[in-house]
Structure 1
């Protein structure tokens, strides 16, 4: 790929990521700028590295099999002030429920309730409404209970490529405490 064409194409990819309201796949980006998927991926990786290496409030990230421009986590307090709305945060119960689902997915409502020790109807409904979790299928057995797991929106919200990037649970344990996963 010629240098001038390469720079123009990289600029076009950057512009597409900037204006897109949703993350875009490499295949879609390659199709739009009319290059091979491998070349598009190479340019996206270069762009992501350039954003990573320079100071600024933005970064290019891969979320699952898609790419997007997003803000750096350290800018979150300022963005929150800009968009602050009362009552938009998650309750402690919803956060605990989300953490259990994220680490134990796919998991049923009753399994979450066994871990938390309380009913989780309201937190699960809130998480479903916020598109942070979704139904992933049904467990075989009596009643065929719904299995829940996290969504692409969850990954985007927490800046993760996939759930394997969740911090190890051991980081949250008090010394001497253990947990069954």
Structure 2
């Protein structure tokens, strides 16, 4: 398949995919080597990021999967068009908890509590219900506490394509 056709088909598959898909799934559907899909994903990502004016879509990569998402700046118009409620704002406690999870994931509730200095049960339950945090296993520690990590929806909420888009953590106070 010529490169332009590959890119066009790749974009079409990402558009119709019901959610995040692996490059291997895309390669199988396109009947091309996974390396070709990876190169095309990089090219498509570059096209979305460098486009002037900005395009309404971007690629989101997370844990070996990729999906098309709308540009965060377009969220208000998209929500109105779809008849969705405006995104609820997150409390300071929720933002603190998400920051800890994003930078330290996977992380347990006791670890979150230690950093925050307060109990985080309620905040974690709220973030789980909103789909911004997920349980990813249990720690090999006494009591086998649950491990939490951010979801792709969390990255999307903050307009991040991947965890590497997080600003560097500045520990100087």
Per the TM superposition, whether the score is higher than 0.5 is: yes
Shift of 1:81: 4.8
Supply the distance in 1 between the matched residues of 2:116 and 2:80 (Cα, whole angstroms): 32
Q: Deviations over 1:126-181 (max 9, x none)?
A: 112223222333334432322322233333433445434321232xx7xxx53xxx
Listed as ranges, the gaps of 5+ residues in structure 2 are none
3-state SS in 2 of match to 1:24: coil
The answer to whether 1:26 aligns with 2:23 is yes
Other-structure match for 1:125: 125
Per the alignment, residue 58 of structure 2 pairs with 59
Measured at CA, do residues 104 and 51 of structure 1 come closer, stay the same or move farther in structure 2, by a change above 3 Å?
Answer: closer
Q: What TM-score results when the alignment is normalised by the length of structure 2?
A: 0.79
| Structure 2 CA distance for aligned equivalents of residues 144 and 112 of structure 1 | 15
* CA distance, structure 2, for counterparts of residue 64 and residue 139 of structure 1: 19
Unaligned ranges ≥5, structure 1: none
For the pair 1:101 / 2:101, whether they are aligned, the reply is yes
Aligned pairs for 1:8-157 (under 5 A) are: 8-54=5-51, 55=53, 56-82=55-81, 85=85, 88-157=88-157
In structure 2, relative to structure 1, the CA distance for the partners of 1:122 and 1:17 (3 Å cut) is same
Q: CA deviation at 1:67?
A: 2.1
Does the 8 A contact of 2:59 with 2:161 survive in 1?
A: no
Q: Which moved more, 1:36-45 or 1:105-114?
A: 105-114
For the residue of structure 1 that corresponds to 2:90, the secondary structure is coil
SS of the aligned residue for 1:131 comes to coil
* Matched length: 170
* Whole-Å separation in 2 of the counterparts to 1:60 and 1:81: 22
Q: 1:168 to 1:80 in 2, by over 3 A?
A: farther
